Amino acid sequence: MRTLLTTIVAGLCAAASAVSVADTGDTAIAALVVKETPRVVAWRRDFHAHPELSNHEVRTSGIVAEHLRRLGLKVQTGVAKTGVVAVLEGGRPGPTIALRADMDALPVVEQTDVPFRSTVTTTYRGETVGVMHACGHDAHTAMLMGVAEILAGLRAELPGKVLFIFQPAEEGPPEGEEGGAPLMLKEGVFATDKPEVVFGLHMWATKPVGEIGYRPGAFMAGSDGFRLVVTGRQTHGARPWMGVDPIVASAQIITALQTVVSRQIDLTQNPAIVTVGTVRGGVRGNIIPDTVEMLGTIRTFDPEQRKDILARVERTVSHVAASSGASAKFELTGRPNPVTWNDPALTKRALPTLARVAGAGKLKEIGLQTPSEDFSFFAREVPSLFFFVGVAKPGVPMASVAENHSPLFYIDESALPVGVRALTQLTVDYLTGKM
């Protein structure tokens, strides 16, 4: 039985068989994507089998840099610790645009049955954890490498420059470190070759394979990380009245925090999310500990609403802890991510290109997305467009699809040429004035 990827490749090859490489029209680019797809798949599988956490993408960035040097690009390594930046100069004068891919993986134990699944382990926050590309960054990196290969072959016909940004630490740098898009900007990634626009994409688990999702204006939520430390008084588990139980207080706090969004915020204005992702406290079942630590995130779309929610969360934490005789410290951690904003004018210009790439009925405007992205920092500097490419396996009901960040996250690889072609075609159309 032919796979969907095989069908796509065969169809594009047949359509492009008589077209010159020098022609930068849709059919020629489709043919170049077909030619590059096996290498993109191989790179993606290699990165998937060898994932690296934020600010530790040493092997990944080395492979990326070697590939870009082979293409004759101007390559800079060690940007924001492990980032790679490269410039492709076209054969004629023109604008500069940027394309971005993120490279880091997550502390997740993979549970898929693909032959290239990760078996990597490392230490994260003092614990031994698995490492997995559970959010598609392996695909993002491989696809942008493929885009670089194709555009390097077209450089004589291209006006302007293309800035390739291979970014570390999108998922957030380790505690006490800087990283990601903010550090790349701080170190001057746009200082020498500031682009007119920046494009990026994300593989998305809950969209059908090959479908492209976009939204002008606010697209993905802003996010704040937080840390809570609830302090009680340690005692024997058989005599809880002799101490103050921070575990019970923490349970009450977790429940109460959900009422901030469900009962105190006008959700008809914007969605908002308060999530507690980790709870750590105690060492034995018969000892009530002194402290419990919790980590979480807050997602918002409006600056004033964000300020209000932060104040309500801090007040709730303090008062609920006090009602149990405990105390609690609330603090924001790491860097807040701004809302990911798609420039409406640029989005409108890009839609015909994306519609041609996606095909009939596969370009969809979608609603606000509550995950966050540090691509938003680049978008604050220059007009940008960030969009989703669906990766859900055909025939699988969306209700049963494993989400991004799940240990069962799966990419149908027939989505890879869609992403490569989208970024390539956007670049060509923008630089040649077809957008």
One domain, residues 12 and 152 = yes
Give the E-state strand segments of 168-315 in sequence order: 197-208, 212-214, 217-220, 222-231, 235-236, 273-280, 287-288, 291-300
Please say if 171 is a catalytic residue: no
> What's the rounded Cα separation, in Å, for the pair 431 and 299?
35
**The pLDDT of residue 23:** 52
C-alpha angle 204-305-249 in degrees, rounded to nearest 5: 85
Please say if 104 is a catalytic residue: yes
Domain boundary among 336, 352, 383: 336
One domain, residues 241 and 201 = no
**The pLDDT of residue 5:** 45
**The pLDDT of residue 248:** 98
Number of compact structural domains in the chain: 2
One domain, residues 59 and 159 = yes
Domain boundary among 336, 359, 391: 336
One domain, residues 203 and 268 = no
DSSP state of 170: T
One domain, residues 331 and 343 = no
CATH number for position 378:
3.40.630.10
> What's the rounded Cα separation, in Å, for the pair 199 and 328?
42
One domain, residues 101 and 216 = yes
Domain boundary among 336, 352, 370: 336
Q: What does the CA dihedral 304, 308, 311, 315 come to, rounded to 10 degrees?
A: 180
Q: pLDDT tens digits for the chain (435 residues)?
A: 344 444 444 444 443 333 333 455 799 999 999 999 999 999 999 999 999 999 999 999 999 999 999 999 999 999 999 999 999 999 999 999 999 999 999 999 999 999 999 999 999 999 999 999 999 999 999 999 999 999 999 999 999 999 999 999 999 999 999 999 999 999 999 999 999 999 999 999 999 999 999 999 999 999 999 999 999 999 999 999 999 999 999 999 999 999 999 999 999 999 999 999 999 999 999 999 999 999 999 999 999 999 999 999 999 999 999 999 999 999 999 999 999 999 999 999 999 999 999 999 999 999 999 999 999 999 999 999 999 999 999 888 999 999 999 999 999 999 999 999 999 999 999 999 999
Residue with token string 């923490």: 250
CATH number for position 281:
3.30.70.360
Q: Of 52, 57, 102, 104, which one is the catalytic site residue?
A: 104
> What's the rounded Cα separation, in Å, for the pair 106 and 221?
20
One domain, residues 76 and 154 = yes
Instruction: For helices 416-431 and 137-153, give the axis angle rounded to 10 degrees.
Output: 40
Under a CB-based contact definition with an 8 Å cutoff, are residues 379 and 107 in contact?
no
One domain, residues 301 and 351 = no
Q: Which residue segment(s) compose the domain that 11 sits in?
A: 4-221+339-431
**The pLDDT of residue 25:** 79
Q: Of 170, 171, 224, 412, which one is the catalytic site residue?
A: 170
Rounded to two decimals, the pTM is 0.93
One domain, residues 233 and 205 = no
One domain, residues 60 and 85 = yes
One domain, residues 36 and 70 = yes
Which H helix or E strand runs over 138? helix 137-153
One domain, residues 213 and 252 = no
3-state secondary structure of 95: strand
